[in-house]
Amino acid sequence: MYPASFEYHAPGTVQEALSLLGKLGDDAKLLAGGHSLIPMMKLRLAQPKHVIDLRKVPNLAGVKQDGNTIVVGAMTTHWQVESAPVLREKLPIVSDTAGVIGDPAVRNVGTIGGSLAHADPAADMPATAIAVGFEFVCEGAKGKRTVKVDDWFQGLMATAVKEDEILVEIRIPTWPAGSGGAYLKFPHPASRFAVVGAAAMITLDGKGVCTKAGVGITGAGTKAVRAKGVEAGLAGKTLDQATIEAAAQKAAEGVDVQADLQGSVEYKSHLCRVFARRAIEAAVKRAKG
């Protein structure tokens, strides 16, 4: 299958890319790893007249620590996220999530920024972004602005990045000592996308009481969501098995669960509860060291 014809642009700086976006408006699409955009163009679900390739723009990829924040460039590939020592040490949930995206071919080319800007409802990183509390730095002609994760995912493949902006970096807060996190999914057997995925971040105090909890669910609905009922069921409590089970029962609340070829609403709601429980259990294990 071939995409409709388009004009290809390869800007050398963010400024050049922004000026192209400003000039071409709705007719243009940014290209990162191309692992979502190109299939959509081949299926003619997207027919941009102009494609602006970000791969020649320097300084958009890389992982570095800035105090209590890990800064990840938008063009950092899933493999680079998976293998970055600072993430593996401080936030292994993020490395693990990147490591279960697609297959090696996808992870070597697809980017964290492309995934989070595309916001496929079955993508993995959105659940972890919610649980951990990512922030998104968007650059436009007038400068940069930062968007918190709770304002980022706005609907089916819709995020807070504007058409004349570029997502340039993702800022990931480290969590205090006594914290642990895990992302687990029920993968589609062919694509490995999440039929349902759940991410949990937990902080325990010295007595085993949960002082902070973040839980995100992906795959089941039209966008990834924060499982507020689950978080409320964990915070302030000693996380014994009964408490975890009871909290996880609320995992499908607030999710607009969609029936599709992979399962009914009932089945996917069940998967939300099961995978939330498993992710919390794994997070607690890590938090306890």
Ligand X SMILES: Cc1cc2nc3c(=O)[nH]c(=O)nc-3n(C[C@H](O)[C@H](O)[C@H](O)COP(=O)(O)OP(=O)(O)OC[C@H]3O[C@@H](n4cnc5c(N)ncnc54)[C@H](O)[C@@H]3O)c2cc1C
Closest separation in Å from C-beta 122 to ligand X: 7
Closest separation in Å from C-beta 194 to ligand X: 6
Residue spans of beta strands (DSSP E) within 21-120: 28-31, 50-53, 63-66, 69-73
Exposed / middle / buried, residue 134 (Cβ in 10 Å: 0-12, 13-18, 19+): buried
Please identify, using beta-carbon distances, which residue of 224 and 248 lies nearer to ligand X. 224
- The residues of the shown chain that bind ligand X, judged by CB under 6 A, are 29-37, 39, 54, 74, 101-102, 106, 110-111, 113-115, 117-118, 120, 123-125, 161, 166-167, 191-193
Please identify, using beta-carbon distances, which residue of 57 and 91 lies nearer to ligand X. 57
Closest separation in Å from C-beta 77 to ligand X: 8
Closest separation in Å from C-beta 63 to ligand X: 15
Please identify, using beta-carbon distances, which residue of 105 and 177 lies nearer to ligand X. 105
Q: Which residues contact 119 (CB under 8 A, 6 or more apart)?
A: 126, 153, 156, 157, 158, 159, 223, 224
Residue spans of beta strands (DSSP E) within the chain: 7-9, 28-31, 50-53, 63-66, 69-73, 135-140, 143-148, 153-155, 158-159, 166-173, 179-187, 194-204, 210-218, 225-226
Task: Output the residue with the shortest Cβ distance to ligand X.
Answer: 110
Handedness of CA 232, 262, 33, 42 (dihedral sign): negative
Please identify, using beta-carbon distances, which residue of 88 and 192 lies nearer to ligand X. 192
Please identify, using beta-carbon distances, which residue of 124 and 135 lies nearer to ligand X. 124
Dihedrals φ, ψ of 105, to 5°? -65, -40
Closest separation in Å from C-beta 80 to ligand X: 12
